[in-house]
């Protein structure tokens, strides 16, 4: 079978565009589960590999509405599991402000509940405001990645404590468990000390899928060692190809093959029946941005308070904070490359939170995605609709069929689990 794209849907309830909720008829809340269930069913109708939910650990009433008020990812996706049949369920959980025993449990539980559709987006928390909600001090970037590496090793170790056939449940003899097939973990590392075993059996996928999004050097190394799927933040194809090749090249160093990791750049598609119609929709959305919410989101994404700078001046020469390295680099390098004013940069950030915006007719969008897919920039895409439902339904109803006609995307789910649909092997 020819190589086909994988598609993820990034669910941010009111859409990736900061003012998407103001679009006529758009979903206005990320706390309304019936809207989320509808979105998930639309994604399943579009044969998406997975839906994927970000997270944050603080509320800033000036930020993106869906950053400020949101359902918690694991409870939300467990509820979605019951409302869907095939689609993968990816939830972000921080390695900075969680504990590995609990994380191993919840994802194994989601995997059992969903029949093998769970995925963990293992992130480090960038926003230092989270620390105040956990009574602690925010670790610096390097330390967060050291913690993340050990955290992931502990979680996967806990997932491996129970062999596939450890549960006997033999009514006749009364033997429920074969203790020879249950192992403790006995992990003692720099950050975590965890005995195990975990109190949930081997997951249907063996291990739930691990997603990652870190673009910094330690983030790339961690992804090359541990991730099954990588969401990348890119703005143009040259940069995307470079990042794609760099990640795939690293894999051999960890005894892995290029096909062991699926790379999905984030893209906000704005779909119209014609290119003009799409640009009109984008213009309507951009007209909803005001400088206060635009600057608040930019400040959040850069980790620097930008409210004091001249909107019509050049991008100020600001030092990148240690905590926000990867995302801020991509944005600032694009802004400088294109001689943007600060106003342009906040408009860009408000549109898609800094992700790539792709605007056009179904043909234009399919052409571009095909080019990225066939020339070493992507294994598929992480789709970030600007608003729901229309902003996503147009992608499913207009772009997906075009990709299917070209043989670039599945017309039916092939496997039973997310791991099957991603074409990844079950770990022994």
CB atoms within 10 A of CB 259: 13
Of these, 3, 132, 238, 363, which contacts a second copy (CB under 8 A)? 132
Question: Are 416 and 115 within 8 A, CB to CB?
Answer: yes
3-state secondary structure of 201: coil
Query: Cα(307)–Cα(303) distance, rounded to whole angstroms?
Result: 12
Among positions 382-411, residues that touch a second copy (CB under 8 A) are none
CB 100 → a second copy: shortest distance, Å?
A: 9
Q: Which is closer to a second copy, CB of 35 or CB of 408?
A: 35
Of these, 146, 250, 288, 341, which contacts a second copy (CB under 8 A)? 288
Query: Cα(206)–Cα(164) distance, rounded to whole angstroms?
Result: 8
Residue 22 found at the interface with a second copy (CB under 8 A): yes
Q: What is the Rg, in whole angstroms, of the alpha carbon atoms belonging to the chain? A: 21
Could you tell me which stretch among 92-100, 229-237, 333-341, 353-361 binds a second copy (CB under 8 A)?
92-100
Residue 171 found at the interface with a second copy (CB under 8 A): yes
Question: Are 9 and 50 within 8 A, CB to CB?
Answer: yes
Residue 259 found at the interface with a second copy (CB under 8 A): no
Q: Before 389, cis peptide (omega within 30)?
A: yes
Task: Tell whether residue 92 is among the known ligand binding residues.
Answer: yes
Query: Cα(300)–Cα(46) distance, rounded to whole angstroms?
Result: 32
Task: Tell whether residue 97 is among the known ligand binding residues.
Answer: no
CB atoms within 10 A of CB 45: 13
Residue 174 found at the interface with a second copy (CB under 8 A): yes
Q: Which is closer to a second copy, CB of 69 or CB of 332?
A: 69
Q: What phi and psi, each to the nearest 5 degrees, are found at residue 418? A: -60, -40
Query: Cα(277)–Cα(366) distance, rounded to whole angstroms?
Result: 16
Please give the structure tokens belonging to residue 239. 């940069």
CB 203 → a second copy: shortest distance, Å?
A: 9
CB 156 → a second copy: shortest distance, Å?
A: 16
Residue 167 found at the interface with a second copy (CB under 8 A): yes
Query: Cα(79)–Cα(85) distance, rounded to whole angstroms?
Result: 12
Q: What does the per-residue mask of binding to a second copy show for 323-362, with x meaning CB under 8 A?
A: ----------------------------------------
Query: Cα(281)–Cα(277) distance, rounded to whole angstroms?
Result: 6
Query: Cα(311)–Cα(345) distance, rounded to whole angstroms?
Result: 9
Task: Tell whether residue 389 is among the known ligand binding residues.
Answer: no
Q: Which is closer to a second copy, CB of 40 or CB of 233?
A: 40
Annotated binding site for FMN: 55, 92, 141, 145, 216
Q: Which residues bind a second copy (CB under 8 A)?
A: 19, 21-22, 28-29, 31-33, 37, 56-59, 61-62, 65, 67-72, 74-76, 78-83, 97-99, 101-102, 105-106, 108-110, 112-113, 132-135, 161-162, 167, 169, 171, 174, 176-177, 179, 182, 192-201, 288, 290, 293
């Amino acid at each position: 079978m020819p190589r086909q794209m994988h598609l993820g849907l990034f669910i941010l309830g009111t859409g990736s565009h900061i003012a998407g909720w103001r679009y006529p008829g758009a979903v206005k809340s990320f706390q309304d589960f019936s809207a989320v269930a509808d979105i998930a069913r639309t994604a399943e109708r579009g044969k998406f590999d997975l839906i994927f939910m970000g997270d944050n650990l603080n509320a800033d009433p000036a930020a993106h509405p869906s950053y400020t008020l949101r359902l918690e990812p694991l409870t939300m996706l467990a509820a979605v599991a019951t409302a869907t049949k095939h689609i993968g369920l990816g939830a972000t959980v921080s390695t900075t402000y969680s504990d590995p025993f609990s994380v191993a449990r919840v994802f194994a539980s989601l995997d059992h509940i969903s029949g093998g559709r769970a995925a963990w987006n293992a992130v480090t928390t960038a926003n230092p405001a989270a620390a105040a909600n956990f009574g602690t001090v925010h670790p610096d970037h390097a330390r967060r990645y050291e913690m993340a590496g050990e955290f992931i090793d502990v979680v996967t170790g806990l997932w491996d404590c129970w062999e596939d056939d450890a549960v006997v449940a033999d009514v006749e003899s009364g033997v429920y468990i074969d203790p020879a097939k249950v192992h403790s973990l006995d992990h003692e590392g720099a950050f975590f000390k965890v005995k195990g075993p975990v109190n949930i059996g081997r997951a249907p996928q063996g291990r739930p899928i691990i997603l990652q999004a870190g673009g910094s050097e330690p983030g790339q190394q961690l992804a090359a060692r541990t991730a099954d799927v990588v969401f990348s933040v890119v703005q143009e194809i040259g940069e995307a190809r470079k990042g794609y090749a760099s990640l795939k090249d690293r894999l051999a160093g960890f005894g892995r093959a290029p096909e062991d990791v699926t790379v999905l750049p984030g893209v906000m598609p704005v779909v119209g029946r014609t290119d003009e119609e799409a640009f009109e929709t984008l213009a309507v959305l951009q007209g909803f941005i005001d400088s206060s919410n635009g600057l608040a989101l930019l400040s959040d994404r850069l980790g620097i308070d930008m409210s004091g700078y001249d909107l019509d001046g050049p991008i100020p020469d600001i030092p990148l904070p240690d905590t926000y390295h990867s995302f801020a680099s991509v944005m600032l390098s694009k802004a400088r490359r294109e001689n943007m004013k600060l106003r342009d940069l906040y408009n860009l950030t408000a549109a898609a939170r800094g992700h790539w915006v792709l605007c056009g007719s179904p043909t234009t969008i399919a052409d571009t995605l095909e080019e990225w897919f066939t020339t070493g920039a992507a294994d598929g895409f992480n789709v970030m609709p600007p608003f729901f439902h229309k902003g996503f339904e147009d992608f499913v109803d207009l772009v997906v069929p075009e990709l299917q006609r070209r043989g670039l995307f599945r017309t039916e789910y092939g496997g039973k689990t997310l791991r099957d649909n991603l074409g990844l092997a079950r770990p022994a």
